[in-house]
A and B are shown apart, each in its own frame.
Chain A
Amino acid sequence: MKIIDLDFQPTARRDLPFRELKDGGVVYEYNTDTFHSLNTTAAYIWILCDGNHTVAEIINSIKQNFSQFESDPANEVIKIIEKFRTLNLLTDD
């Protein structure tokens, strides 16, 4: 399994339905009939987990679009992507 570093390009599983909401989004894992609710930042990161963006690019995008982070959001972004992977929401490659 690849390490989640700045060059890693996370890819969300395409078979999982995602719906955007006013303040975030939800991912439905039908195998376990589980819903994962995502806050605004996590939903934004989820959309960027398309296999075309590196973690560094996602962090930069968060910096540009979210004002609530006073310090560097890098750790927060990596934590969220790790959480996606732990929950088996990302593809293995």
Chain B
Amino acid sequence: MPLFKIQIGSGEVSIECGNDIVNDIISSVFSIIIRPTQFPAKIHYRIMFENDRFFLFRNNRLTHRNRQLTRIIYALEWQIVQDLLTKNKSTLKFHSAALKQNDAGFIFCGAASSGKTSLAILLIHYNWELLSDEFAIVDLNQQIIPFPRNLIIKPHLCNKIKIPLDSPIFNLDDESNGKIDARYISPSLFGSVYLNPVPLKGLVFLEKSDHNGFNLQPLEHHQAFKLLTQYLLDRNFNVGKWLNFLVSLLDTSAVYRLKISSPMDLSPTESRALIEQLNQIK
């Protein structure tokens, strides 16, 4: 059976599946960085089909079974995300999008449905390069390690951007909206994706606004610190160490709050104004 690997930083997984579903897997799961390989990784997934059902194994242990392949891919993708995040030890992981402009990396922290993916699509349309739309990994050298998962395009975005109509639909659990039908689209469809670590230069906190347009303002560090901890996914080393890490991130980054209702609803003039203001952040 074909064998593939996905590697991010110090995390690596391999996937083995039948020829008939290879295209479904590689078009939905980390499409940008999934590569053929000869050897299984320490974390190895295998998808089997038997008696009208798909079976998903992680290191030979059955984790899921379902008649629908999309349900299996959904489970596989999420488990791989968790594995890759967990395996990158001594890093901080944030619930945030991350993008690169020139040589500077920016993290856009935001709650579920705050517009991270929409903003990422908007920025790459204006020649920023995507590092991640959902999770940002920052290492001890304050470099953002790209996490180029496929973009999860939720229903409200499907009408606003061009996506392949034949892409599979995944019924997934959304924190804000319950069960939704979403599509996993390769980020390369929207623009450039950058695959090397980038020094962190800016931290932007997204806040949902009731008004049209946007408002980008510097944010005081003591407020930013508290927000930053809200978007911190796990604290896998001692308290003192990650407190110091967060302090140093704030010390070396420009820190802003972006109030915005919906990045996709900005007029072209507003979009350009936002890009210009973001580009000016030093």
Contact = CB atoms under 8 A, between A and B. Distances in A.
B243 A39 contact: no
B236 to A, nearest CB: 15
Q: Is the interface of A mostly helix, strand, loop or mixed?
A: strand
Indicate the size class of the contact surface on chain B: 10 to 19
A51 interface: no
A24 B239 contact: no
B244 A26 contact: no
Contacts, number: 43
B244 A19 contact: yes
A35 B251 contact: no
Nearest to A18: B243
Contact of B251 (A22, A28, A39): A22
Contact of B239 (A25, A28, A38): A28
Q: Is the interface of B mostly helix, strand, loop or mixed?
A: helix
Contact of A37 (B222, B240, B251): B222
Interface string B236-252: 00011001101100110
Interface string A6-26: 000000000001011111111
B226 A24 contact: no
A26 B227 CA distance: 12
Interface of A: 17, 19-26, 28, 30, 35, 37-39, 43
